[in-house]
Amino acid sequence: MDKRGRLSKFGAGLTSAASSAIAILVGLAVGFIILLATNPGQAVRGLGVIVSGGFNGGMKGLGQVLYYATPLILTGLSVGFCFKTGLFNIGSSGQLIVGAFAGIWVGANAAPWIPAPLLWLAALLAATLAGAAWGAIPGLFKSLLNVHEVIACIMCNYIGMYGVNFLIKNSNVYDPLKNQTIDMTRAAIPKAGLDRIFFSLKGRFLDASSVNGGIFIALALAIATSVVLDRTVFGYELKACGLNRFASRYAGINEKRGIFLSLAIAGGLSGAAGGLMYLAPAGGLRINVIETLAAQGFNGIPVALLGLSNPIGIIFSALFVAYIEQGGYYLQRLEYMPEIINIIIAVIIYFSAFALLMRQAVGAARSRLARRSGKRARGREAGRA
Amino acid sequence: MLYMNNNHDGFIIEMLGITKDFPGIRANDGITLRLRRGEIHALLGENGAGKSTLMGALFGLYKPDEGVILKNGKPVTISSPNAANALGIGMAHQHFKLVHNFTALENIVMGVETTRMGLLRTDQARRQVMALSERYGLKIDPDARIEDCAVGTQQRVEILKMLYRQNEILIFDEPTAALTPRETGELARVMKELAAEGKSILFITHKLGEIKQTARRCTVLRKGRSVGTLLVADTSIETLSEMMVGRRVDLNIQKSPARPTASPLISVERLTVRSKQRQKPLLNDVSFEVRGGEIVCVAGVDGNGQRELAYALAGLIPADSGRIFLCGKDVTRMTARSRNTLGLSHIPEDRQRYGLVLDYTLEENLALKSYFRHPFQRRGFLSFTAMRGHAERLTRDFDIRAAQGPVTRARNLSGGNQQKAIIAREMSELPNALIAVQPTRGLDVGAIEYIHKRLLAERDAGKAILLVTLDLDEALIMSDRIYVIYEGSLTACFEGGKATARELGLYMAGSGNVG
């Protein structure tokens, strides 16, 4: 790439980062207003707790940030990938839970056929494939019957959630005492040494965080997604379909195939999120058999928006959302009701997702600045002459 | 400041010393333009000379970096199209700003709807619009959706939109680019009528003949600067074109006799295309062939099936019956991609909808038909180095002017340069057969001359060229054979050189001797 191209790319990146940062500040400001409104005496301390986020809990807190960011990176990628191709994948939640169940089931039942050290990998693969299959359903409906993907995705969310609840209760992965899935000790994702870094001491006991090697897998998938979108022929086709389907049809791109594959890939990413979430050792998350859609799926939407659908941006926005959520967790120490905390965290995330709006403003400001400095330079030249 | 002492009598709009910078380019450089009340003032310039930017400043789309705009001698700030409308300034855009899934009537009244108790009342608006349509001979179907309307109709909707808002200053941005000769004549009549009623008209165009016909004065722009304003009556067409391009232009093209190959490269047998809603076929039992080494033209008034013919040939819409052969192969059921690989290139009518991915860069757009082939693809990965080289070669060969070179977004190219980019891409594909739909729409004389020469060179290299055009002059100078299309059927066929504009015009209007 020549100098001009690189500079303009760098400039665009700078604009994007600045706009996300401003969006976050606006979100925090609005969150502060709610803190003030609900409990004025503790508002300043409360904001401090939120901003300190994962740091509240020392190294364990930071580890928890990484653990909760892992599925968010993947659901963010899932939604962002579809945004890039002109689709709205609101079905991440269903894909995640279907993937999670497939992963847990394989983890619990495939032991006789698969050597123990590879069991987690097989389970994760199963989760990814099941998620992909679940994402492929709206993909098929859209490409063959022109059913809008939002409708099909929402339907699949509920079918997935109730279906998985039913399957858990009727399979050997159910723990009826806790009304949740059993512990995944044999198929748990390796800790990759992270538990030796992210822990707190409670007296003489190690209080390790649930973070595991899954974060590395999520990071690798983000980089892979970025490469696919920006460097491959496949990504070029998908983005062309998203930006102008008439022109891509004219160029001979198979749009229907693109829609199908795009939703299947997005489903795979969400399924992997489910796998990484629930294939955790003791102390990690379990699927609770309740009639609620998985929040991580929906949080993928603000994560993708805040990251402007850019895979690398999504890594940071997922870390931010997980960090703020940890801040909310520790906000319980002050006298805030859990509901209020949820509202505050939701508001911050919600406003942060306005990054796209900020981007226009920042872009305009940058070009104004550039013009002004250009004028000054011309003035200096004229002065010299 | 200088202009403060000037006499403002008779000038309704004065744009003084307008300067506008875009990243990497100064689009307007101290341009002064003064519009008299009740005159038709032409604005002439090459593609990318800054005409649209200057008019954008007047219509509130861009804020000029320097300069003042006066209306009736008083400085005004025009911050948005709404502000422009409030000042009585209306604009018919080159790329129409219409809502595609609204009807013509809805588009015209949009923003100034009459309501009663919050409910939309269209009957009164409908009467007014139809009265205007009648009065100026601007024929529209008020209930047709814009996406189903031909380009010429969309144009008329844009003009009615201005008239309905009772604007007194009308900007026409290349209004005739999509019109037939008859429609152009009609428009000239409408514009003169409006001017006689006291409306002031700014008329952007490349077509010198139209300036001679309609305008009183003309301001010529070149590379963002004003070359001068002159009285049209005292100036010859040759002088105008020289002022615009900065060199002499050969308006008469030299053409050698065609040496067609024996077998046809494009062959169409009894092709019929029906629309989904209407019974009447859009394309009715059409048969013709194009041999290598000849240019065959399909001439007709816009909306008579040309669009469907081109799209059916390119594989973008299915044929209901009949067969299409390309290089001897039956491609009727083949995808667009396999037709392209057989050597079919297509310069589409709608360059922003079909021709380009506007948010892709110039280099990405120039590879739109070949990104999947070597050297752009290597093991599934794109080679940006190859794309850059390709783009640099084409921008040089076809003189595509892009502010940031190959990495410029297609959206930021001027209309003419977008067209040049499409033509460059389609010709660089080394096609066997080329469908060119209005290839010179919106281009300046210099570029038209170049495109015509390229088309002839392709013809002489043995390629089959199907030229679909609304421009009679283009049809007459370029073609070896001309078919007239009327209401979906080919109604006449003329061998090259044997047709006259008058005869063609009669057949295009449906009043020739059919058969």
Weakest-pLDDT range from A153-157, A321-325, B150-154, B409-413: B150-154
Q: Which residue of A has its CA nearest to B351?
A: A247
For the cut 50, the answer to whether the pLDDT of residue B4 exceeds it is no
Q: Poorest-confidence range of A201-205, A315-319, B127-131?
A: A201-205
- Higher-pLDDT residue of A384 and B133 is B133
What is the tens place of the pLDDT at every residue in A224-280? 999 999 999 999 999 999 899 899 999 999 989 999 999 999 999 999 999 999 988
Cα gap A319→A326, rounded to integer Å: 11
For B355, which of A8, A239, A247 is closest by C-beta distance?
Answer: A247
- For residue A208, give the amino acid letter: A
Regarding an ipTM greater than 0.95, the answer is no
In contact, A71 and A96? CB cutoff 8 Å: yes
What is the model's pLDDT at position B365?
Answer: 95
Residue B7 reports pLDDT greater than 80: no
Q: Are domains B2-245 and B263-343+431-515 of this chain identical in fold?
A: yes
Looking at residue A80, which CATH number applies to its domain? 1.10.3470
Given a cut of 50, whether residue B70 has pLDDT beyond it is yes
Select from A1, A230, A250 the residue whose CB has the most chain B CBs within 10 Å, as the one to mutate to test that interface.
A250
Angle at B453 between CA B311 and CA B349, to 5 degrees: 20
pLDDT of B118 over the 80 cut: no
Q: Could you give the percent of chain A with pLDDT greater than 90?
A: 42
pLDDT at B5 over 50: no
A191-205, B45-59, B115-129, B252-266: which has the highest mean pLDDT?
B45-59
Range A169-191 burial, b when 16+ CB lie within 10 A, else e? eeeebbeeeeebbbbbeebbbeb
Q: Would you state the pLDDT for residue A141?
A: 95
* B chain contacts of residue A240, beta-carbon cutoff 8 Å: 357, 360, 368
pLDDT of residue B9: 72
Q: 3-state DSSP call for residue A181?
A: strand
pLDDT higher for B194 or B514?
A: B194
pLDDT at residue A39 tops 60: yes
Task: Please tell me the distance in Å from A367's CA to the nearest CA on chain B.
Answer: 8
CA nearest A322: which of A47, A103, A63?
A63
Domain locations in chain B? 2-245, 263-343+431-515, 356-430
Q: How far is A364 from chain B (nearest CA, A)?
A: 12
- Is the pLDDT reported for residue B301 higher than 90? no
The label of the residue with tokens 């649209």 reads B52
Tell me how far apart the alpha carbons of residues B386 and B372 are, in angstroms, rounded to a whole number.
12
Predicted pLDDT at A378: 54
Superfamily of domain B2-245: P-loop containing nucleotide triphosphate hydrolases (3.40.50.300)
Please give the pLDDT value at position B513: 54
Best CA proximity match to B258, nearest among B465, B438, B448, B431: B465
Instruction: Output the pLDDT for position B395.
Output: 93
Instruction: Assess whether the previous peptide bond of A138 is cis (omega < 30° from 0).
Output: no
pLDDT tens string B358-401:
999 999 999 999 999 888 998 899 999 999 999 999 999 888 88
Residues of chain B with pLDDT > 90: what percent? 35
Q: Which CATH class is domain B263-343+431-515?
A: alpha beta
B311 forms beta bridges with none
Give the tens place of pLDDT for each residue, B247-294: 776 666 677 788 888 889 999 999 999 877 666 788 989 999 999 999
Evaluate whether residue A350 is within a structural domain.
Answer: no
Domain count, chain A: 1
Q: Is residue A3 one of the residues assigned to a domain?
A: no
Mapping DSSP onto H, E and C, the string for chain A reads: CCHHHHHHHHHHHHHHHHHHHHHHHHHHHHHHHHHHHHCHHHHHHHHHHHHHHHHHHHHHHHHHHHHHHHHHHHHHHHHHHHHHCCCCCCCHHHHHHHHHHHHHHHHHHCCCCCCHHHHHHHHHHHHHHHHHHHHHHHHHHHHHHCCCHHHHHHHHHHHHHHHHHHHHHCCCCEECCCCEECCCCCCCCCCCCHHHCCEEEECCEEEECCCCCHHHHHHHHHHHHHHHHHHEHHHHHHHHHHHCHHHHHHCCCCHHHHHHHHHHHHHHHHHHHHHHHHCCCCCCCCCECCCCCCHHHHHHHHHHHHCCCCHHHHHHHHHHHHHHHHHHHHHCCCCCCHHHHHHHHHHHHHHHCCHHHHHHHHHHHHHHHHHHHHHHHHHHHHHHC
Q: Which domain covers residue A174, as residue numbers? A: 58-326
Would the pLDDT of A8 be above 60?
no
Q: Which two tokens stand for residue B84?
A: 């422009």
Tell me the per-residue pLDDT of A333-361, one tens digit each, with 9 for 90 and over.
887 877 777 787 788 777 777 766 676 67
Q: Is the pLDDT of residue A57 over 90?
A: no
For residue range B33-63, list pLDDT tens digits in order.
Answer: 999 999 999 998 877 788 888 998 999 988 8
Q: Is the pLDDT at B179 greater than 80, yes or no?
A: no
Chain B interface test: which of A84, A236, A249 (most B C-beta within 10 Å): A236
The DSSP letter of residue B253 is P
Residue at token pair 């020392």: A58
Reported as a pLDDT band with limits 50, 70 and 90, residue A300 is very high
Output the pLDDT for position A112: 83
Question: CA distances (Å), A235 to each of A239, A258, B64, B340, B366, in order?
Answer: 6, 10, 39, 21, 17
Q: Taking CB atoms and an 8 Å cut-off, how many pairs form between chains A and B?
A: 79
Residue A283 lies in a domain: yes
Residue type at B493?
C
Strand B11-22, strand B464-469: pairing? unpaired
CB contact B412 to A (< 8 Å): no
pLDDT value of position B2: 43
On whether residue A321 sits in a domain, the answer given is yes
Query: Which structure tokens are listed for A142?
Result: 């859209």
Q: Do A233 and B336 touch (CB under 8 A)?
A: no
Question: Can you tell me the distance from the alpha carbon of B286 to that of B269, in angstroms, rounded to the nearest whole number?
Answer: 7
pLDDT of A382 over the 70 cut:
no
Read off the pLDDT of each residue in A48-69 and give the average, rounded to a whole number.
85
**Closest alpha carbon to B67 in B121, B20, B132:** B20
Per-residue confidence (pLDDT) for residue B1, from 0 to 100:
40
The Cβ of residue A73 has, within 10 Å, a number of other Cβ atoms equal to 34
Which of A8, A250, A367 is opposite residue B336, by nearest beta carbon?
A: A250
Two structure tokens written together for B249: 């232009």
Residue B514 pLDDT greater than 50, yes or no: no
Q: Does the pLDDT at position B352 exceed 70?
A: yes
Task: Characterize A86-119 residue by residue with b for buried, 16 or more Cβ atoms within 10 angstroms of its Cβ, and e for exposed.
Answer: bbebbbbbbbbbbbbbbbbbbbbebeeebeeeeb
Question: Which residues sit opposite B36 in a β-bridge?
Answer: B11
Asked if the structure places residue A178 within a domain, the reply is yes
User: B117: Cβ–Cβ under 8 A, 6 or more apart, which residues?
Assistant: none
Mean pLDDT score of chain A: 85
